[in-house]
Amino acid sequence: MKINGKEVAVCDCDGTMTLDGAALAKACGAGAAADVQHRLCRAQLDNFQALLKRGEPLLVACTQEAPLFDETRAEAGLGELPVRYVNIRERAGWSDEGAAATPKIAALLAEAALDIASTSSVALESKGVTLVYGRDERAIDVARRLRERLEVTVLLDRPQDVLPPRVMDVPIFKGTIVGARGHLGGFEIVVDDYAATVPSARRQLAFEAPRNGASAACDVILDLTGGTPLFAAHEKRDGYLRPDPNDPAAVERAVFDLVDLVGEFDKPRYIDFKADLCAHSRSRKTGCTRCLDLCPVGAIKPAGDSVEIDPRVCAGCGACASVCPTGAATYAMPPGDALFQRLRTVLSTYRAAGGDKPALLLHDATHGEEMIAAIARTGRGLPARVLPFALNSVTQIGFDFFACALAYGAAELRVLVGPKNRDELSGLAQQIGLAEAAMAGLGHGGGRVTIVDERDPDVVEAALYALPGPAPAPAGGFLPMGGKRTLAMLALRHLRQHAPTPVDRAPLDLLPLPQGAPFGSIRVDTAGCTLCLACVGACPTGALGDDPDRPTLTFTEDACVQCGLCKATCPEKVIALEPRFNFADQARSAVVVKREAPFHCVRCGKPFGTRGAIERIVEKLAGKHAMFAQPDAKFRLMMCEDCRAIAQFEQGNEPLAGPPRPKPRTSEDDFREREIEEARARVLAERRGKDGSG
């Protein structure tokens, strides 16, 4: 049997699963019936080798024996042959409803046969420069054990009565870390009360005069203080180990892990970020802060008009991608639209194989897989209609995923969270609330998307068998193309079209949504709006626009992400946000919010500004400001920038009008004055001569 160009090897694991080769091939859309093996990993290993010799990509429906199959490939010299593994046993076959699980098995095989692009990575390098941060002799003992493998320094926080080591084979300092940042291979710390040891100390360690603000760098940190962690969500910070110093076993595990943190490492790049789509800030006005509010490890920080995500610190929870309204941050495991391709393939294959009322169980690869295995091995197994859907992190998904899953025909979704997710659920809960509000508002009813937060497999199993099983919406056939907003819009319009109750009435063109929704409109108090158009310059998505020919403010609702930048920028404070989804066609085109005739200069007639803005300025300044106290001064406010400058200096009694400028002197002025003086002297001389002779 072949799926998507891959030969599929299925095994009923010694008859513990009910597999019908012909029915499975039909469910998968394959031509020939599937050859069901019974013990492919042992007695029928030759059959696996025969499949390898065909030289075609291979999909093996077994994960438990994957190491054995890989070893067999290597021995046969076929280690480069593409082989994938998928678990259909714990996820489908080992169940009280295993006999009815053929549609589910077909969906799992079709999903595993998809071609998914690899994820990019970021390089980290650690040279083994290690800081052991503690309070007593235990930190020194651990450092001395590590010194043969690592370059170790000990920093003691407020040490008391610590016996000096007989041989000072590791450097010891005292100090309190007051600031720390960085990642594996690049930590930076700031230390107060920092001082080196005094070599002459006898009964207890003594130190030189301390100083504050000392800084240092290291590759890894072993924190044995037992105090407040140096980092938020410290368990997710690569290179920072913080065992309980009172638990010797935990300390030993940390020591073993520490030795392995030397060398070059490839860390997945969890988030693809496009700064030009970010709606964080414009002109020093803050708008969207959704990702900043949720990042548990502090990998995101403001960077001008956008934010900046440090891939070396990012722990991959994906909360930023789930809440990003514009798609600036997208989850890259898997990259592109692969997640939605998997979703569409699973649901369409299950439905085409005759499956009914599919329920998606969203889980991660650690806690989720362990929970599913425990339910299959010790309980009833998963119900036949519950389709497990693995994610790198359950917090990576948002409203767009939920909407698409429901539009593709899922009856309900359950998100299985584990202990490491419990402090990161606020963003996920917000997105689920948004999906629930949308489904209830469209008449599909609530309870479609919920969280399952239980550690007991029996409780999880009971909850899955008790699912209400509401009727799903007819499955949509739209392709998962475009950004997250496009996908969400396609899904919502499909769900509205197939709502249980008629929704052609005008009021239901508007779907109210809770605060924080990435869709909505704005309300503008047009009486107070002066059409300054500051909001147009601030809008990062082009939802607000203008007209180059006349003072106009337009709004395109489909482009609005409710970032709030227009509201924060408006100098008149006349803009309010209204979260909703508008199904009307007018939401896709620009609608005029306010339009005014331009004001014409009272001196030259040139159009400038808007009538409302000029009239408001005249009202506020004329006769009230020193520059415009004179009755005629208000007319300058009604002039364009050129005429205003000319009129300003035409008035001699104005505050800005200076005294008349002195006329420049030239050589001709000097010659003329000299001639006048000489003429005057001649006249006086002649008069004196006449008086003397008479």
**Looking at residues 322-346, what average pLDDT do you find?**
93
Instruction: Name which CATH class applies to 512-595.
Output: alpha beta
Confidence of residue 1 (pLDDT cuts 50, 70, 90): confident
Confidence of residue 506 (pLDDT cuts 50, 70, 90): very low
The alpha carbon torsion through 131, 136, 142, 148 (nearest 10 deg) reads 70
Domain 123-266 fold is FAD/NAD(P)-binding domain (3.50.50)
**H or E stretch covering 460:** helix 457-465
* Strand boundaries in 556-674, DSSP class E: 575-582, 591-595, 598-600, 607-610
Task: Tokens 């948004």: give the residue.
Answer: 434
Please determine, for residue 694, whether its predicted confidence score (pLDDT) is greater than 50: no
Residue 651 confidence (pLDDT): 62
Domain segments of the chain as ranges: 2-85, 123-266, 269-331, 348-503, 512-595, 599-650
Token pair, residue 226, equals 């037992």
Rounded CA-CA distance 299/527 in Å is: 44
3-state class of 112 per DSSP?
helix
Averaged pLDDT of the chain: 91
DSSP state of 526: T
Computed over its alpha carbons, how large is the radius of gyration of the chain?
38
Q: Which residues pair with 552 in a beta bridge?
A: 595
pLDDT one-digit tens code per residue, 429-478? 999 999 999 999 998 999 999 999 999 999 999 999 999 989 999 999 89
- Supply the DSSP string of 48-104, one letter for each residue: HHHHHHTTS-EEES-STTHHHHHHHHHHTT-TTS-EEE---IIIIISSTTGGG-HHH
pLDDT one-digit tens code per residue, 161-175? 999 999 999 999 999
- The number of CA neighbours under 13 Å toward the Cβ of 93 is 22
Q: Dihedrals φ, ψ of 634, to 5°?
A: -65, -20
Please measure the distance between the N-terminal and C-terminal CA atoms of the chain and give it in whole angstroms. Answer: 149
Domain 269-331 fold is Alpha-Beta Plaits (3.30.70)
Query: Among 444, 490, 501, which residue's Cα sits nearest to residue 583?
Result: 490
Amino acid occupying residue 509:
D
pLDDT one-digit tens code per residue, 352-382? 999 999 999 999 999 999 999 999 999 999 9
Task: Tokens 């205003």: give the residue.
Answer: 644
- Supply the DSSP string of 95-107, one letter for each residue: STTGGG-HHHHHH
Residue 635 near residue 602, CB atoms below 8 Å? yes
Q: Within its chain, how far is the Cα of 285 from the centroid?
A: 20
**Looking at residues 310-321, what average pLDDT do you find?**
95
Domain 348-503 fold is Rossmann fold (3.40.50)
Residue 568 confidence (pLDDT): 95
